A and B are shown apart, each in its own frame.
Chain A
């Protein structure tokens, strides 16, 4: 390796050299999300425009809220009478699963420095699934990789909403079933995680309790009871699990 004199130019050059490969390394993992957010964001944009919202309002909301289910759930309250407490509680309930993700990512995001706060604000289901389940390729810094995933996904969401809210009304195509990309992505991540872990107890507990709650309580309301059941089970089984758990 040749030693080069340190200069501002060189530092800038080094930064581009590192940011480029990291984004290139992260991009393939985000392609399914590009497709998924493409559909969902486009649909949300159409819905918001059809509901009479200025595209600029829709785009601004997508930038700062950045939550698919949260934004879909907000459409009706935005059209109804002013009810700040109701809409606040609604959004807390619809998005309660994020607490789960935050607890999971405490360790991984711990050393992210200034990037951390942006990465938290962008911690969607899909970003979580990659940053939690995917090991960055060899030689790629973990924090930068997760930061790149967060930025790419956020960009896909905002761009899709822009396209949907501006052009949506004029574009027609049969995309029924394209939303399956999200399911397929989660299955792949589940398999990757399964092959990586030595102890499947947590995965099996999560699967069994979510399935039982879904069957007993129904699609509308099963998520929060399922999370509470998982939390309880993992708390009760802490002794045996902690002895056997080598992540």
Chain B
């Protein structure tokens, strides 16, 4: 167990570790100065790749080779995509998809 002052230091360090990852790009490339062309290019093409990465990230703990083989996740994800392409209503797609998933994991 840590002492109170060690605990305070640890919390400060955790905060610093997290917030450095958020602030670093903005501190390295301040708004006043022209951002290098390469970084401008990155900030144009990265969003597409970053959202794809987030989608894959959500499926990282799904066991496709065991148990339900990822069936509830894939069916619910397909339902979200189909609903969204059909109605383009974010709350409907997300809400219905989540309810479908919660029902599926109780069935499978």
**Contact surface of A with B, Cβ cutoff 8 Å:** 28-29, 31-32, 35, 57, 60-61, 64-67, 70-71, 74, 77-79, 81-82, 84, 87-92, 95-107, 109-111, 116, 120-121, 123, 125, 128-129, 132-133, 176-178, 180-191, 193, 197, 200-207, 209-211, 214, 219, 222-223, 226-227, 230-231, 234-235, 238, 241-242, 245, 247
A-B contact count (CB 8 A): 250
Give 11 pairs: A residue, B residue, CB < 8 Å, sorted on A: A32-B95, A97-B53, A177-B101, A183-B58, A183-B73, A186-B55, A187-B97, A191-B84, A219-B61, A241-B41, A242-B41
**Interface size of B as a range:** 35 or more
Cα distance A60–B11 in the bound complex, in angstroms = 10
B2-44 interface mask toward A, CB cutoff 8 Å, 1 = contact, 0 = none? 1100110111011111111111111001010001001111111
Please judge, given known A-B contacts A182-B58, A219-B60, whether A210 and B23 are in contact too, CB under 8 Å: no
**Contact surface of B with A, Cβ cutoff 8 Å:** 1-3, 6-7, 9-11, 13-26, 29, 31, 35, 38-61, 72-73, 76-77, 80-81, 84-85, 90-91, 93-95, 97-98, 101-102, 104-106
Interface of A is mostly: helix
Evaluate contact between A190 and B55: CB separation under 8 angstroms. yes
Evaluate contact between B98 and A193: CB separation under 8 angstroms. no
Evaluate contact between A203 and B51: CB separation under 8 angstroms. yes
Contacts of A210 in B (CB 8 A): 52-53, 56-57
Evaluate contact between B93 and A184: CB separation under 8 angstroms. yes
